[in-house]
Chain A
Amino acid sequence: MFSKKMVLIVGGVVLITVNVILLSVTSKSQSTFGFGRVGLSFVAPFQELVTCSVRFAREIWERYFFLVSASQENEDLRKSLNDAIEKNNQWNELKLANDRLRNLLNFQKSLANRVVAAEVIGKDPSAWFKTVIIDKGKADGLQKGLPVVLPQGIAGQVIEVSDRYSKVMLIIDRNSAVDALVQRSRARGIIKGASADQFRFEFVLRKNDVQVGDTVVASGFDGVYPKGLRIGQVSDLSGRNSNIFYEITVRPFVDFEKLEEVLVILRPKTEAFASGQ
């Protein structure tokens, strides 16, 4: 009834259409409908094994073969240590004063939530997307949407969870967005991933006071990242005067190229978000 060529053409067109529709659905919902977990559970144990081996080999190299330069470094570090002890003494005094004031003002600790430490065991196979695989999953209490942080600042959020492993989308990924504030002037905007060493800080009104060097922190309005967590520092400020928004570039505090261990905040306190408003 139909020629083979006709069947092939129709089949091809149907296949392409289905393909485009599926890609459209998955890219809009950022969901893998549970399929992602299967691949993650299968490959992640091997990633963990290889990562541990590579780190072990690197540690041996750094601890034993680099001892030649360690002697000189030791001398320098001793000098630095003496300086640091003096500074530490001053800081202790400041800390005690700070603690007293903090008690007086009855401040809540910003990170009173339970956190889970996790190790990064794999990175995204593609250069275009910025995700990492960590060695903690459902069994450790992780769930989709939890914030992932470092002492230096925000790292990302959990987007896929299997029993023992999770996938984390870093805030440098272009699909990531964080509601943020300039710490000094409280100017509000959205931090979006641009590349490994910079963010775009969008929708900041020109009427606000923003300067190069200002620290940008999470506002808490997005319901994911607790208020006050550090994100980065304004490194460039541009845009025509006729625009209503600034064009701001922010340099992250976290070094995403050297991400090895992270903290997952298990249950961000609802009060933290509420106080952000």
Chain B
Amino acid sequence: MKTQLLSIAAAGLLSLTSVWAAAPVVIQNATIMTVTNGTINNGSVVLQDGKIVAVGTKVNIPAGATIVDGTGKYVIPGIIDCHSHIATEAVNEGSLSVSSMVGITDTINPEDIAIYRAMAGGVTTANILHGSANSIGGKTVVLKMRWDHSADQMLFEGATPGIKFALGENPKRRGAAAMPGLTATPPRYPATRMGVEDVIREAFTGAKAYKASWDEYNAKAAKGIVAIPPARDLKYEPLVEVLEGKRFVHSHCYRQDEILMLLRVADDYGFKVRTLQHVLEGYKVAKEIAAHGAGASTFSDWWAYKVEAYDAIPYNATLMMRKGVLVSLNSDDAELMRHLNEEAAKTMKYGGATETEALSMVTINPAKQLGIDKRVGSIEVGKDGDVVIYDQHPLSTFTKVEKVYIDGQLYFDRSKDLADRPTKEAEKKALITKAAEEQKKNAPQGGGRRGGGL
């Protein structure tokens, strides 16, 4: 009795403290594309206690391991999307152009079906950002696609937090008084790219002064001098973290002028732009981006949907890469997110990237950009057990994801998804029937609501 209770308690503790307590997994006889250490034919990967514990042609099989036959299949590290808005209930706090006080973490919906679908497309980690309505948006968060877990359990432990900036057409849109269909009055500053620069400078001028007031207070406090602490300012706190290098700037941008503008502002205020997002004209100023040390996270071939995207070229990623910029491909879209591997393949067509370069842009490069490359982004011993099994070469249009492991646990299994469909369909029918019966039963006598339910 006592032991039983103990084991129940232990199990409870385990499920509370750790989401990765599963049997070891050995994927055998597969083509293992490690990304950082070449490709291993007829190789194996061993996942244990959430981590990759062995990779190679000969590995020790842990006791009780689940063996997965990978004959004819390909294994790559889980795909990382550096720009996504899935699993969010709210994206833009558009009433101010500096809304650094808000955080996307407060809006995470772990039941968004887009999480499951992204995972079924090989994505295991995503950078979740605010929208681009504001010059300075809000605090971003990195999530692992731990489907069927709570929002807190999806957080990528220890990932450096970020903040979303946006330049160009989107943040200045609210400044246009006569925007058709937009009744927001009065117009919100800024209305031009010039104004966007000023908004960011004003914000950092304030943040610097705020930081100085705290530095002064802390210095006094350290010396034991009695002083009154400055009032906290939730708008400036994240910007101070940016100045201290504790928070990454991920900035939406398109045109070369605004890219250079932000790099210069960052230089002036002494912070780094971690990634330029979209950065469709990045190829024009690749040299300057590389010199600043900013990463670039772009689309493979989106263009012409608005004026600032008219000079976008599908060679952007490869051209920036060749000029020394760390480049990733992102989705910004729940659909595109499902086939980032195919987007990566386009860098081979447009600009002649190698297979490894192409795959890097959706694995190790975004991991580096998010500062999580010690944990994910390649198949290496000691890294998280985040791997994807494809039935064909992952850079082929004919391929599809068969299995996805996160923290060494099986999170997506195509064969199970297919097998479960009849049951789910029956369950859905039963629920609809039940709902219809309830509605009929509860309908008020003599008319009332017709139809409804939409």
A, B in one complex: no
Query: Hey, which bits of chain B sit against chain A, CB under 8 A?
Result: none
